[in-house]
């Protein structure tokens, strides 16, 4: 009965509660990770938003402190604003409001007066933000503000939900000459929320510094309850973390994070029932399996009781079979059992010897878990490490990484030397050397007094190793951190890894402390994203010259000093992946391509090696593209004008269709068109279409929608923008002036 009841009691008392708790904890960790990942992504995109006023103030051509009532100054500002039209993936539109002239300049080059914002379909009309109040707030603006998602009627009478950033120029100025309105579609932010994880089914929320909700991925009924408001206020006071909260009688896993960049609060809610669905299924399957095991177990016990009449005799027979004597002498039953016990004792001794041999491995694992941040308190670390002589009891802690360029066999000797070095550490310090998870790397973690110089000790150790093994290791040193919690060791180790990686990539010195690293503060993430996108587009369009030119720009920034190692490796990996993807299109079964792929992603290349691999791979790809391109065909002026006359007023007519018609590449035909016709393609087509629309406005009474369709515009708003850009007024104003 005890044998039968043991698994049942174990599952009911231990397995079920612990499996449920483990599932909740795992989901809370995942929920917190998803929230932090979304916060990090949005911080990257909003950083440009808050940097834009400073960029505009540094633009000397703007001169916003001057009185600018003439048309020429407005044209200058409109042209300058076009230069900032580079972030359409996140920002819908940017408007520069110059107070002393009462005009707003869009990044597309459009110009609006203050009165345009009071009219639907002309300017940007905010349904919940009265016109007078809007410009009164902009005139008095001294600090950045963000308006929650709301309905905005954009030019063309379409309604879009926008999140609006209001930033004074300059930031913090009492009498700023201008303000910047940056509009971001709510659906753009929601797409970023959903892109964090395809399998995540919870809801995301963003709140500003005052706790006002800016964006929500869902407007579920529970978000309007007092319980929801109470939970959000409590999280705002407690800071980042995850927990389980009850809202309207239903349990949710709630994760909360506070951005250090802009003070926004990010929260995500996931119903607990959804997280436990899989564990419930597993538990039911376990019950069925347990019933089957109990049935089989009962049958086995029954048969054993019925058949086992001589248990001692069977034990003797088993011992005789397992531990056979070397001498063929007959033993009685008692001697056989004594002999079996002696053999078991001998086997236990051999096992104990093998365990002793594994002590260094266990010691290294404990130390690596310490630097990896797995220990939350010194008590738990000392509980595991005391048996192996591990003790961290001084005021400060520091980690360092020693990287060697040597054979694997030599690393065993180096390990032995450094273990002996632990006993010779200077007074006021204690430390341990252990193997990293990477080959040819040794990690040092030390506990020392606050006035101890870890850098001087590492320099001396470097010289000692050179004298003994003939090679100097590359050493990266983290900052000395407080020893109040093991978190200081983890932070110092991460800094040491970054320092040694910086030395390995740059190759300028053999020892570097994290505090000595100089990192450029210029943000280049968005610029690199554009370059990588341009490289991929050039390869897809079979434009080898453009691809090589873009690659050289990437290499130029990759080789610049100050870029952190992780960004260097990220740019290299993304660039080489795009190039290898292009090669894969042409050489799917090429064994040389497989060898090149394997070599390109070997660990720890220097910058010079990375640049060489990228250039060699790109040259090979460009040669293949040139071999596959058809002979270049030219087109006469008469042929080009004939195609324009036939298809120029078609809404689907584009430069790509034009180039395909003459079997030319996009960039090649664009250059040929401008050289032959004397104008840029888009400029020529727009002027031709607007000229026809002017004739229709003068001679007919047709609607703007009908005229837009006849002249090749896909919608009325794009027609109005193009007309105003070229003529200077809207089509409706032009028709009225002709009357």
Q: Residue 599 pLDDT more than 70?
A: no
pTM for the full model?
A: 0.39
Determine the 3-state secondary structure of 373 from DSSP: coil
The model's confidence at residue 280, banded by pLDDT at 50, 70 and 90, is low
- Whether 727 and 734 have beta carbons less than 8 Å apart is answered as yes
**Percent residues over pLDDT 90 in the chain:** 8
Q: Residue 634 pLDDT more than 70?
A: no
Q: How far apart are CA 34 and CA 22, in angstroms?
A: 18
Q: How far apart are CA 135 and CA 675, in angstroms?
A: 47
Q: Residue 589 pLDDT more than 60?
A: no
**How many whole angstroms from its chain centre is CA 492?**
23
pLDDT at 151: 93
Residue 644 makes CB contacts below 8 A (sequence gap 6+) with 684, 685, 688
- Whether 492 and 399 have beta carbons less than 8 Å apart is answered as yes
Residue 689 makes CB contacts below 8 A (sequence gap 6+) with 648, 649, 711, 712, 713, 722
* Number of residues in the chain: 739
Domains of the chain by residue range: 59-190, 359-516, 525-628, 637-738
List the single range of 104-113, 117-126, 216-225, 678-687 with lowest mean pLDDT.
Answer: 216-225
List the single range of 62-76, 91-105, 634-648 with lowest mean pLDDT.
Answer: 62-76
The model's confidence at residue 563, banded by pLDDT at 50, 70 and 90, is low
Look at residues 385, 479, 487 and name the one whose alpha carbon lies nearest to residue 434. 385
- Whether 722 and 711 have beta carbons less than 8 Å apart is answered as no
Superfamily designation of domain 637-738 = Homeodomain-like (1.10.10.60)
pLDDT at 287: 77
Q: How far apart are CA 564 and CA 544, in angstroms?
A: 30
- Look at the alpha carbons of 368, 369, 373, 376 in this order and tell me if their dihedral is positive or negative: negative
* Count of beta carbons in the 10 Å neighbourhood of residue 591: 8
Mean pLDDT throughout 310-328?
Answer: 62
Kind and range of the H or E element at 101?
A: none
**Stronger pLDDT, 42 or 62, i.e. the higher one:** 42
Superfamily designation of domain 59-190 = PAS domain (3.30.450.20)
Superfamily designation of domain 359-516 = Reverse transcriptase/Diguanylate cyclase domain (3.30.70.270)
Tokens found for residue 413 = 């000797």
Q: Residue 557 pLDDT more than 80?
A: no
Q: How far apart are CA 314 and CA 310, in angstroms?
A: 6
Q: Residue 354 pLDDT more than 90?
A: no
The model's confidence at residue 592, banded by pLDDT at 50, 70 and 90, is low
Listed in order, strand segments (DSSP E) in 588-635 are none
Look at residues 517, 518, 525 and name the one whose alpha carbon lies nearest to residue 51. 525
pLDDT at 275: 59
List the single range of 35-39, 298-302, 733-737 with lowest mean pLDDT.
Answer: 298-302
Mean pLDDT throughout 328-335?
Answer: 66
Q: Residue 328 pLDDT more than 50?
A: no
Q: How far apart are CA 718 and CA 156, in angstroms?
A: 8
**Percent residues over pLDDT 70 in the chain:** 84
Q: Do domains 59-190 and 359-516 have the same CATH topology?
A: no
Look at residues 624, 546, 535, 533 and name the one whose alpha carbon lies nearest to residue 584. 624
Look at residues 190, 83, 111, 101 and name the one whose alpha carbon lies nearest to residue 139. 101
Cα end-to-end distance, the chain, whole Å:
104
Cα dist from 318 to 339, 461, 509, whole Å: 12, 59, 68
Residue 379 makes CB contacts below 8 A (sequence gap 6+) with none
- Whether 144 and 167 have beta carbons less than 8 Å apart is answered as yes
Mean pLDDT throughout 497-503?
Answer: 82
The model's confidence at residue 353, banded by pLDDT at 50, 70 and 90, is low
Tokens found for residue 543 = 């434009």
Query: What are 382-423's pLDDT values in tens digits?
Result: 888 888 888 888 899 999 999 887 665 677 778 888 888 888
* Count of beta carbons in the 10 Å neighbourhood of residue 458: 21
């Amino acid at each position: 009965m005890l044998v039968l009841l043991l698994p049942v009691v174990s599952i009911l008392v231990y397995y079920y509660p612990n499996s449920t708790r483990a599932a909740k904890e795992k989901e809370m960790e995942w929920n917190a990770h998803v929230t932090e990942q979304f916060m990090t992504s949005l911080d990257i995109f909003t950083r440009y938003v808050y940097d834009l006023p400073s960029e505009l103030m540094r633009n000397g051509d703007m001169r916003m402190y001057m009185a600018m009532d003439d048309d020429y100054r407005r044209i200058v500002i409109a042209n300058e604003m076009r230069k900032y039209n580079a972030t359409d993936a996140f920002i819908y539109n940017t408007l520069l409001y110059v107070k002393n002239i009462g005009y707003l300049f869009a990044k597309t080059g459009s110009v609006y007066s203050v009165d345009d914002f009071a009219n639907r379909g002309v300017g940007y009309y905010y349904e919940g933000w009265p016109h007078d109040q809007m410009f009164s707030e902009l005139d008095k603006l001294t600090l950045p503000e963000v308006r929650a998602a709301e309905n905005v009627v954009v030019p063309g009478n379409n309604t879009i939900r926008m999140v609006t950033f209001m930033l004074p120029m300059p930031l913090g100025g009492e009498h700023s000459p201008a303000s910047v309105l940056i509009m971001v579609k709510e659906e753009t932010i929601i797409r970023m929320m959903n892109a964090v994880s395809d399998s995540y089914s919870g809801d995301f929320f963003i709140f500003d510094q005052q706790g006002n909700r800016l964006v929500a991925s869902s407007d579920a009924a529970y978000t309007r309850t007092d319980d929801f408001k109470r939970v959000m206020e409590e999280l705002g006071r407690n800071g980042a973390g995850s927990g389980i909260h009850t809202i309207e009688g239903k349990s949710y896993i709630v994760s909360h994070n506070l951005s250090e960049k802009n003070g926004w609060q990010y929260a995500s809610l996931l119903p607990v029932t959804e997280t436990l669905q899989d564990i419930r299924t597993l538990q039911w399957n376990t019950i069925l399996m347990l019933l089957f095991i109990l049935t089989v177990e009962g049958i086995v016990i029954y048969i054993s009781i019925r058949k086992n009449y001589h248990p001692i005799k069977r034990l003797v027979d088993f011992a005789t079979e397992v531990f056979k004597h070397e001498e063929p002498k007959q033993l009685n039953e008692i001697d056989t059992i004594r002999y079996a016990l002696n053999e078991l004792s001998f086997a236990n001794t051999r096992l104990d010897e093998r365990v002793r041999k594994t002590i260094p491995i266990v010691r290294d694992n404990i130390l690596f878990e310490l630097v990896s941040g797995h220990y939350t308190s010194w008590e738990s670390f000392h509980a595991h490490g005391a048996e192996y002589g591990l003790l961290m009891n001084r005021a400060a802690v520091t980690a360092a990484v020693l990287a060697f360029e040597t054979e694997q066999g030599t690393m065993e000797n180096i390990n032995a030397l450094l273990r002996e070095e632990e006993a010779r550490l200077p007074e006021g310090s204690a430390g341990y050397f252990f193997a990293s998870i990477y080959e040819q790397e040794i990690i040092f973690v030390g506990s020392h007094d606050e006035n101890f110089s870890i850098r001087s000790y590492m320099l001396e150790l470097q010289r000692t190793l050179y004298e003994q093994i003939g090679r100097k290791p590359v050493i990266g040193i983290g900052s000395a951190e407080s020893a109040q919690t093991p978190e200081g060791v983890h932070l110092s180790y991460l800094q040491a890894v970054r320092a040694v990686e910086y030395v390995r990539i740059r190759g300028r010195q053999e020892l570097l402390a994290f505090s000595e690293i100089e990192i450029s503060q210029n943000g280049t993430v968005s610029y690199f994203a554009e370059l990588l996108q341009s490289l991929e587009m050039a390869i897809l369009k079979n434009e080898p010259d453009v691809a090589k030119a873009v690659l050289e720009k990437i290499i130029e920034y990759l080789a610049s000093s100050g870029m952190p190692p992780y960004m260097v490796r990220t740019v290299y990996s993304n660039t080489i992946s795009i190039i290898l993807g292009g090669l894969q299109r042409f050489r799917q079964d090429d064994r040389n391509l497989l060898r090149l792929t394997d070599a390109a992603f070997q660990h720890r290349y220097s910058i010079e090696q990375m640049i060489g691999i990228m250039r060699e791979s790109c040259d090979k790809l460009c040669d293949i593209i040139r071999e596959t391109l058809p002979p270049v065909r030219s087109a006469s002026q008469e042929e080009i004008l004939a195609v324009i006359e036939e298809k120029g007023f078609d809404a689907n007519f584009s430069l790509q269709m034009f180039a395909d018609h003459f079997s030319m590449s996009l960039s090649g035909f664009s250059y040929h068109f401008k050289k032959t016709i004397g104008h840029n393609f888009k400029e020529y087509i727009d002027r031709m279409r607007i000229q026809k629309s002017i004739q229709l406005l003068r001679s007919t009474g047709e609607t703007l929608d009908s005229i837009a369709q006849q002249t090749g515009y896909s919608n009325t708003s794009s027609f109005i923008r193009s007309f105003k850009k070229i003529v200077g007024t809207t089509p409706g104003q032009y028709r009225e002036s002709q009357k």
